[in-house]
């Protein structure tokens, strides 16, 4: 194929269904839900026509507030086939965040599930949109959300004011094949197809607009770097609302006619069982997910011999964890990805054959057709190899912009088309990129720059330490001091002083954490990214007199 394709998501799925009709596209092991590529393509056509039949126009937003339930992936392609924009909603959102997102995005359509964990989505939706209980479906006029026209329940149950999935599918009869073909013919690969609100590791969410062109091509290369071939089987326990699920997962899979073995949520036992039963050849996760699988008491009961590749992303991978994933899970061709939602999301990736050092100390090299460079944050000039600066990228993957936020778009993408990541990194002579932290993660102690990753990697080697995160603690004397947030391994008997003793004489004195506390877990975004800014806030509360 040519380096980059100008093709819509709908055409891409049609193509794979024609070439590989009998390869399974979507599998849910826990309920024996299976669709071949041909069946999956037909399902998306039915849902797409149903949405058209209810009046969904090209360019309308279709928000999906759900975990990885059946129909989620079908909606990703059904909306794309009629020119609607899929808006992915974080499953951890509560009423205030949902209100912000629906208002800011001017969403016209909302799909919900019944509940997620302890949160009743139906109740929250009725509280936010009380008109649903009294107004006719299709005639919704919401005082709080003037753009909202329709609410759907992503299942078979009936709820007042909402359309169910069977009702939506029945509406497909209202649209002729000619009308459907006409709508599809009007689509452009450079149209926005997906909108994701940034996960908020640094603050207030912004709506990232991604096009067919952005995510089709990014998905292709993500899969190519794992050497995906038709019939590979990918276990996907990562959230679909996040780029990790719907681009690194779904788009990489569909580009290469790979089977998606989906799990509604990350449950280590379910992941291990799915890999074993379905003979998965790849699995995705953030480092904490892999740690949870490897340390599970039933880990050795399952067969991982079918595994070959996959992706670890979201946060840096400790060397020891990577060794165990390669040796104990048979993932000798696992890859590391790096990017940000605004970059569709992946800008760099390791490839099959890279060394352990590259897989743990770097995030690979620039993806094909994408330029990556490191610049001085003050001058915007390119840094020489080995010098820390801000990581930037340019290419087909750069978002169309933030929704209704021109200023933030201008701040993120400079006049030369470079997307500024806000991450600090170092480029080696051979093109391998190492991420050293976020611009705001860097600790400056008495004028010395301290990169948390360096101290974290050092402390990972200490007996009794399962995980560690380092963040800045405000200091009246030095500006900032190092604080370490440690998760003990099992019932390890280590105390604060043991951590500090371990560092003495082994790393520079100014890098030794002055403050240590033990925690059970870290504050995380729903996609598994550790929220360092919350650790900094916690540090200020724990050690106010620093």
Domain boundaries, the chain: 35-197, 450-542
Instruction: Give 475's contacts (C-beta < 8 A, 6+ positions apart).
Output: 445, 481, 546
Query: How many CB atoms within 10 Å of residue 180?
Result: 18
- What is the total residue count of the chain? 546
Query: How many CB atoms within 10 Å of residue 520?
Result: 6
Q: Which residue would you say has higher pLDDT here, 265 or 441? A: 265
For residue range 11-54, what is the model confidence (pLDDT) as tens digits? 999 999 999 999 999 999 999 899 999 999 999 999 999 999 99
Phi/psi at 175 (5° precision): -115, 130
For the cut 80, the answer to whether the pLDDT of residue 437 exceeds it is no
Confidence band (pLDDT; 50, 70, 90) for 1?
very low
46 burial via Cβ count (<10 Å: 0-12, 13-18, 19+) = middle
CA angle 156, 24, 168 (to 5 degrees): 25
Q: What is the mean pLDDT of residues 289-313?
A: 97
pTM, to two decimals: 0.88
Q: What is the mean pLDDT of residues 130-134?
A: 98
User: What SS3 class is residue 283?
Assistant: strand
Beta bridge partners of 516: 484
For the cut 90, the answer to whether the pLDDT of residue 192 exceeds it is yes
Residues 462 and 51: their CA atoms lie apart, in Å, by 56
Note the pLDDT of residue 546: 66
Phi/psi at 481 (5° precision): -125, 165
Q: What is the mean pLDDT of residues 146-165?
A: 97
Distances (CA, A) of 251 to 186, 217, 258, 310: 22, 9, 10, 14
For the cut 80, the answer to whether the pLDDT of residue 506 exceeds it is yes
To 10 degrees, the CA torsion angle through 138, 143, 147, 150? -30
Q: What DSSP character marks residue 248?
A: I
Q: What percent of the chain has pLDDT over 90?
A: 83
For residue range 349-407, what is the model confidence (pLDDT) as tens digits? 999 999 999 999 999 999 999 999 999 988 999 999 999 999 999 999 999 999 999 99
Helix H or strand E segment including 282: strand 282-285
CB-facing half-sphere around the CA of 122: CA atoms within 13 A: 16
CATH number for the segment(s) 35-197? 3.40.50.12780
CB-facing half-sphere around the CA of 395: CA atoms within 13 A: 24
Identify the CATH assignment for 450-542 out of 3.90.1580.10, 3.30.300.30, 3.40.50.300, 3.30.300.10: 3.30.300.30
For the cut 50, the answer to whether the pLDDT of residue 86 exceeds it is yes
For the cut 90, the answer to whether the pLDDT of residue 252 exceeds it is yes
Instruction: Give 201's contacts (C-beta < 8 A, 6+ positions apart).
Output: 438, 525, 529, 530, 531, 532, 533
List the single range of 97-101, 178-182, 229-233, 530-534 with lowest mean pLDDT: 530-534
* Residue of 417, 81, 43, 92 lying closest to 241 (CA atoms): 92
For the cut 90, the answer to whether the pLDDT of residue 203 exceeds it is no
Residues 318 and 29: their CA atoms lie apart, in Å, by 31
543 burial via Cβ count (<10 Å: 0-12, 13-18, 19+) = middle
To 10 degrees, the CA torsion angle through 260, 266, 268, 271? -10
5 burial via Cβ count (<10 Å: 0-12, 13-18, 19+) = middle
Q: What DSSP character marks residue 301?
A: G
Note the pLDDT of residue 244: 95
């Amino acid at each position: 194929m040519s380096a980059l394709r100008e093709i819509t998501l709908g055409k891409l799925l049609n193509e794979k269904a024609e070439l590989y009709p009998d390869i399974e596209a979507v599998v849910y092991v826990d309920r024996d839900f299976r669709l071949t590529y041909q069946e999956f393509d037909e399902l998306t056509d039915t849902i797409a026509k149903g949405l058209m039949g209810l009046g969904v126009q090209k360019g309308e937003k279709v928000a999906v507030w759900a975990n990885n339930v059946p129909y989620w992936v079908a909606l990703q392609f059904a909306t794309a086939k009629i020119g609607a924009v899929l808006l992915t909603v974080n499953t951890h959102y509560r009423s205030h965040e949902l209100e912000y997102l629906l208002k800011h995005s001017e969403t016209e359509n909302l799909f919900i599930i019944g509940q997620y964990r302890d949160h009743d989505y139906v109740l929250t939706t009725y509280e936010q949109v009380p008109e649903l209980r009294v107004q006719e479906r299709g005639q919704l006029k919401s005082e709080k959300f003037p753009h909202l026209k329709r609410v759907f329940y992503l299942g078979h149950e009936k709820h007042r004011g909402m359309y169910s999935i069977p009702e939506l599918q029945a509406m497909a009869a209202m649209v002729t094949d000619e009308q459907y073909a006409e709508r599809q013919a009007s689509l452009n690969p450079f149209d926005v197809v997906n909108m994701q609100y940034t996960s908020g590791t640094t603050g207030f969410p912004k709506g990232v607009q991604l096009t067919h062109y952005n995510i089709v091509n990014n998905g292709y290369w993500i899969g190519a770097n794992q050497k995906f071939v038709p019939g590979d089987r990918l276990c996907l326990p990562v959230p679909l609302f996040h780029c990790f699920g719907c681009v690194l997962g779904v788009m990489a899979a569909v580009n290469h006619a790979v089977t998606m073995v989906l799990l509604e949520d990350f449950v280590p036992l379910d992941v291990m069982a799915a890999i074993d039963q379905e003979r998965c050849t790849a699995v995705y996760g953030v480092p904490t997910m892999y740690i949870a699988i490897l340390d599970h008491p039933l880990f050795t009961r399952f067969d991982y011999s079918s595994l070959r590749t996959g992706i670890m992303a979201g946060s840096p991978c400790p060397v020891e964890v990577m060794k165990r994933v390669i040796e104990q899970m048979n993932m000798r061709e696992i890859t590391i990805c790096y990017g940000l939602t605004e970059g569709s999301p992946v800008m760099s990736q390791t490839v099959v054959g890279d060394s352990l050092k590259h897989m743990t100390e770097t995030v690979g090299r620039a993806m094909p057709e994408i330029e990556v460079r490191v610049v001085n944050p003050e001058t915007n000039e390119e840094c020489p190899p080995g010098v820390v600066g801000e990581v930037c990228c340019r290419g087909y993957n750069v978002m169309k912009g933030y929704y209704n936020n021109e200023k933030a778009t201008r701040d993120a993408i400079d006049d030369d088309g470079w997307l500024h990541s806000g991450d600090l990194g170092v480029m080696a002579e051979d093109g391998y990129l190492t991420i050293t932290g976020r611009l705001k993660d860097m600790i400056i102690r008495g004028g010395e720059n301290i990169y948390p990753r360096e101290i974290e990697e050092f402390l990972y080697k200490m007996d009794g330490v399962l995980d560690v995160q380092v963040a800045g603690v405000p200091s009246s004397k030095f500006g900032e001091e190092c604080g370490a947030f440690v998760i003990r391994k099992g019932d390890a008997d280590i105390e604060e002083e043991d951590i500090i003793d371990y560092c003495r004489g082994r790393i520079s004195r100014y890098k030794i954490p002055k403050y240590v506390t033990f925690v059970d877990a870290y504050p995380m975004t729903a996609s598994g990214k550790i929220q360092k800014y919350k650790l900094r806030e916690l540090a200020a509360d724990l050690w106010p007199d620093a």
